C-alpha cells in the first residue's frame, strides 16, 4: 500500500492518494463504494470511510476520485483546497501510521509526505529488511518508529 | 415526548420516516461533525444538525438515533431524503437556528446530560 500526501501551498491544494495492490473492485462495486449503506463488513450495515472522505473533499472545494481494477488494486485520490475554512485537519499521521504498521506488520507500506519542497518518506520494506528477524510490531521497534515519524513530520512542518 | 409532539410544539416539518413519529425520546445531541456524533451520541437521541448529505442517515442508523432535525431552513439532498425514507429514519425540518431548536427542546425537558 502506498499513501502519499502532498501539501502544495502555492497551488492551495492538499492531495491524499492511497494506492493498494489488493483484489480491486469491478465497476459496480466501485460505484457503490461511496454509498454509506454499502459495505463488505459483516458486523454492521453501514460503511462510512469512503463516503465521509468524499464528503470532506466536497466541503472544502476539492474532489474525490476512486479507480479500481479487479485483480490489480485500487487508487483513491482525495483533493482539498488547502486554505478552505472547512477543510478538516489532516490529523495525527504519526499515530495513524503506527497503528497501521503495528496492526498489520505483514503489510508493505510506503508513506510519502511532501510539503514546500521537502519530503518525508517511510518504507516498511526497507525497515523490515534492516530488522531481519525482529518483528515490526516489537515494542522497541514501534517506539523507535514513533520517534522517527514524529521528527520527520516535524521537520516538514506537518506535525 | 414523541417526535410528533415535538414537531407540533416546535413547528417542525416531518419529511421522512413518518411511521416512526410516535417514537419517544428524552435526550438529544447537537453537532455537525459526523465523527463526533459517531463517538458521542447515544441510541435514542434526537440529533440536531445542519448537515444534509446522505451520510447523516447512515450515522443515524448506526447509532440508533430517534431522528434528525435539520436546522435553519436547510433542505435534505435528494439522496438523503430517499435513504431516510428507505431506512425509516425520521427527518424533520426547522427554520430555526440550532441554538433556538435545542433551547426549546431543553425547555420541554429534553436533556443532553449522560
User: Across the 114 residues of chain B, what is the mean pLDDT of every consecutive 10-residue run?
Assistant: 96 97 96 94 98 96 97 97 97 98 97 87
**What domains are there in chain B, each with its CATH number?**
3-107 (3.40.1390.20)
Burial of A7 (C-beta count, 10 Å sphere; 0-12/13-18/19+): buried
Cell of B75: 433542505
Does A135 lie in the same domain as A65? no
Same domain, A108 and A58: no
Backbone angles phi, psi at A5, to 5 degrees: -120, 125
Residues A5, A81 within the same domain: yes
Residue of A nearest to B34 (CA): A52
Tens digit of each residue's pLDDT (9 = 90 or more) over A29-43: 999 999 999 888 888
Our count of domains for chain A comes to 2
Is a pLDDT exceeding 90 seen at residue A45?
no
pTM of the model: 0.86
- Residue A158 makes CB contacts below 8 A (sequence gap 6+) with A5, A7, A90, A93, A113, A115, A120
Q: In what order do the strands lie in the sheet with A110-115?
A: A63-69, A73-81, A13-20, A2-8, A110-115, A118-123
Asked if the Cβ–Cβ distance from A51 to B58 is below 8 Å, we say yes
Q: Which residues of B touch A45 (CB under 8 A)?
A: 61-62
The rounded distance, in Å, linking the Cα atoms of A80 and A99 is 24
Task: Give the range of the structural domain holding residue A124, as residue numbers without chain letter.
Answer: 91-159
To the nearest whole angstrom, how far is the Cα of B83 from the nearest Cα of chain A?
9
Q: What is the DSSP letter of A89?
A: P
Residues A157 and A120 both lie in one domain: yes
Q: Which three cell numbers stand for residue A125?
A: 520494506
Nearest-Cα distance to chain A for B58, in Å, is 6
Amino acid at each position: 500500500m502506498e499513501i502519499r500526501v502532498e501539501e502544495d501551498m502555492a497551488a492551495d491544494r492538499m492531495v491524499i492518494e492511497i494506492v493498494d495492490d489488493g483484489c480491486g473492485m469491478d465497476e459496480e462495486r466501485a460505484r457503490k463504494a461511496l454509498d454509506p449503506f454499502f459495505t463488505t463488513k459483516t458486523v454492521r450495515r453501514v460503511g462510512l470511510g469512503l463516503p465521509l472522505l468524499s464528503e470532506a473533499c466536497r466541503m472544502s472545494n476539492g474532489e474525490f476520485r476512486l479507480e479500481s481494477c479487479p485483480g490489480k488494486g485500487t487508487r483513491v485520490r482525495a483533493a482539498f483546497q488547502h486554505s478552505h475554512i472547512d477543510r478538516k485537519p489532516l490529523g495525527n499521521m504519526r499515530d495513524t501510521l503506527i497503528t497501521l504498521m503495528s496492526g498489520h506488520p505483514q503489510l508493505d507500506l510506503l508513506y510519502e509526505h511532501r510539503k514546500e519542497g521537502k519530503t518525508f518518506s517511510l518504507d516498511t520494506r526497507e525497515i523490515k529488511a534492516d530488522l531481519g528477524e525482529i518483528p515490526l510490531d516489537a515494542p522497541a521497534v514501534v517506539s523507535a518508529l514513533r520517534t522517527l515519524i514524529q521528527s520527520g513530520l516535524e521537520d516538514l512542518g506537518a506535525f | 415526548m414523541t417526535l410528533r409532539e415535538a414537531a407540533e410544539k416546535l413547528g417542525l416539518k416531518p419529511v421522512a420516516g413518518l411511521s416512526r413519529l410516535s417514537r419517544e425520546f428524552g435526550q438529544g445531541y447537537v453537532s455537525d461533525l459526523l465523527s463526533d456524533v459517531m463517538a458521542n451520541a447515544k441510541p435514542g437521541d434526537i440529533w440536531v444538525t445542519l448537515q444534509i448529505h446522505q451520510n447523516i442517515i447512515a450515522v443515524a442508523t448506526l447509532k440508533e438515533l430517534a431522528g434528525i432535525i435539520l436546522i435553519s431552513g436547510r433542505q435534505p439532498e435528494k439522496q438523503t431524503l430517499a435513504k431516510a425514507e428507505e431506512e425509516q429514519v425520521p427527518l424533520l425540518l426547522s427554520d430555526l437556528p440550532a441554538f433556538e431548536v435545542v433551547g426549546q427542546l431543553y425547555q420541554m425537558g429534553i436533556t443532553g446530560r449522560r
